[in-house]
Amino acid sequence: MPKKVDWSAYLFILPALLVIIVFRFYPIIEAIRMSLFNWGIAGPLKYVGLGNFVRLFNDPQFYQSLGNTFWYVIFVMPATIIISLFFAQLLNQKIKGQGIYRTLYYLPVVTSIVAISVVWKWIFNPDRGIFNALLNLIGIEGLKWLNDARGIFEIILGSFGAHVSGFFAGPSIALLSLIIMAVWHNLGYCIIISLAGLQNVPAQYYEAAKIDGAKGWDRFWHITMPMISPTIFYLLITQSIIAFNTFTPVYVMTQPSGGPLNTTNLVVFYLYEQSFRLWNLGYGNAIAFMIFIFIFFLTQFQKRFIEKRVHYE
């Protein structure tokens, strides 16, 4: 006799399923459809097939924004994780006021990113900013920060007589300013996650290592790092995705048009410009689809080549 299906269970998940379909799956399908049209704010739609993607692959501004995003992710992701591990290790000690320190480190995460961007824009002000004031105190000439299009590799190698340009000049001083702000903003979240991972390491492992004569660095490298490797891997993936989707600091701090010579024009900001400034909605959706492809393959690369070094036991 066939087993009777209880449809009441499906009725319970139906509201959530409808929300997911309407606000998740339908926009994705519609965005892919829009990428196949010359879709503006007004006028008739014109089907162009893969024309928007062909235009994308021949767009030098897209490649520049992609290169800027590459440098941004490469600098923000490891810097955030390494510094957060350092502070988490300090907070994992038996110190007074540990809860206060955790709250202070986490405050930037819950603060409005728009407000933070405005404050940091003033910090980087070339005339009255705090950074230049500190540099002047130690006898170093201040920088233009958000207005400086020179690449950091261009500056460093130029002092040795070498010359590099374009992508190989590295992130500009303006983009480096955004990187500094991003590391500071993301630090609190990564510290809390890292601290949770550290507190899950059994104390008997450290005690056994001390008995065997292992020093502090050996204990950290051979016990702490393998035990918190799942935490680090989680931060690696999430911080990569967050960095790849950065928009607000670029919009607030480096107006107009993505900073000097477009050196802070990250790929999501370029998507915004094409979609909501120039109203090339079809082309903007083609950019969005390519961003999805890049993030997907970046995540798969991390899972394939980095996850094998993660110890889940």
Q: What is the pLDDT of residues 190-218, one digit of tens each?
A: 999 999 999 888 888 888 888 888 887 88
What CATH number is given to the structural domain containing 196?
1.10.3720.10
Q: What is the pLDDT of residue 2?
A: 64
Residue 103 belongs to domain spanning: 8-309
pLDDT at residue 232, as a whole number: 94
How many domains are contained in the chain? Answer: 1
Q: Which residues of the chain have pLDDT under 50?
A: none
Do residues 246 and 264 make contact, with C-beta atoms less than 8 angstroms apart?
no
215 within 8 A of 271, measured Cβ to Cβ: no
Long-range contacts of 295-303 (CB under 8 A, 24+ apart): 295/240, 295/241, 295/244, 295/245, 298/240, 298/244, 299/237, 299/240, 299/241, 302/233, 302/236, 302/237, 302/240, 303/237
Q: What is the largest CA-CA distance in the chain?
A: 88
The model's pTM: 0.90
Residue 1 lies in a domain: no
What pLDDT, on the 0 to 100 scale, is given for residue 313?
Answer: 66
Domain membership flag for residue 224:
yes
Residue 1 has what pLDDT?
A: 57
Determine the length of the chain.
313
Residue 2 is assigned to a structural domain of this protein: no
Q: Domain for residue 289, yes or no? A: yes
Tally Cβ neighbours within 10 Å of residue 235. 22
What is the structure's pLDDT at 132?
Answer: 92
The 3-state DSSP class for residue 38 equals strand
